[in-house]
Amino acid sequence: MAEMVEASHISFRYPAEIDEKGNQLESPLILKDISLTVKQGSFVAVLGHNGSGKSTFAKHINAILIPESGTMTVGGLDTTVTDNLFAIRQKAGMVFQNPDNQIVATIVEEDVAFAPENLGVPPEEIRTRVDDALKTVGMYEYRKHAPSQLSGGQKQRIAIAGVIAMQPDCIVLDEPTAMLDPQGRQEVLETIHRLNREQGITIILITHYMEEAAEADRVVVIDGGELVMDDTPAKVFAQVDRMKELGLDVPQVTELVWELRKAGYDLPAEIITEEECVAALGTLLQQCSDR
């Protein structure tokens, strides 16, 4: 499987600020020597508390930010090379937390067409891309609607359709469900999982929701600008004490099992879904009844 994203020892700080006396204040490093590879077609969740650097890392993938040191390549293209910028943003689309910040037109289909038009895609190809993208996210019937009339979840799906219309190999989503109600969250998650599963699009999901991360192929945890954990969801969330030290939660069923294990019950540590929890508890109850 080819490498979609490769970060090699990247560090980054924001521009220095000037105090009231005109002195330049050196900014702290936001990212510190991060090395990370994401394979094409994988689904990676990135976790970290506020200010950890996870959103800053995400913006490096789309070349919104450029590393102070180290290299970031996307589809084999170095983000520090200006001539690569256009191609990189075709390969890696980005969806932000607030869909209103990405919607630029007053009609849904015009908004989805905006990026392909700017890429110089022929009109007949744009029509096909827009229709296909809207069908992919389940919003084709709303193509003539005004985005302002849609729910938060629908708007976010329109934002995703706008990225899909660029035909990217990778989509980076920076907390796309943070402003949504449970139904909107579910709509968006189903959409991005379908894109990953059916179209092989690489998904990099920045999230605060542990249950969302539990559905990924891999979980990466960033703390204080450093990569501190990188493994399967089951192995990452099994380290409950470590996650709590980092100021992060774990899925509710994982915490339940953790509490039961502390109380002396013999349960597997690597449980992250309700189905796994029910099965393990059923086995435990059967063992108790057989004694």
Q: Which residues contact 132 (CB under 8 A, 6 or more apart)?
A: 164, 165
Q: How far apart are CA 43 and CA 56, in angstroms?
A: 19
Q: How far apart are CA 36 and CA 50, in angstroms?
A: 20
161: how many CB neighbours lie within 10 A of its CB?
Answer: 26
∠118-120-125 over CA atoms, to 5°? Answer: 110
pTM reported for the whole predicted model: 0.89
Q: How far apart are CA 225 and CA 271, in angstroms?
A: 28
Q: How far apart are CA 127 and CA 108, in angstroms?
A: 13
What's the fold here for domain 3-16+26-233?
Rossmann fold (3.40.50)
The tens place of each residue's pLDDT in the chain, 291 residues long, gives: 689 999 999 999 988 777 777 777 778 899 999 999 999 999 999 999 988 999 999 999 999 999 999 999 999 999 999 999 989 988 999 988 888 888 888 899 999 999 888 888 899 999 999 999 999 888 999 999 999 899 888 998 899 999 989 889 999 999 888 888 888 888 889 989 999 999 999 999 999 899 999 999 999 999 999 999 999 999 999 999 999 999 999 999 999 999 999 998 888 889 998 899 899 888 888 877 776
- The CATH 3.40.50.300 domain(s) of the chain lie at 3-16+26-233
Q: Which residues contact 268 (CB under 8 A, 6 or more apart)?
A: 257, 276, 280
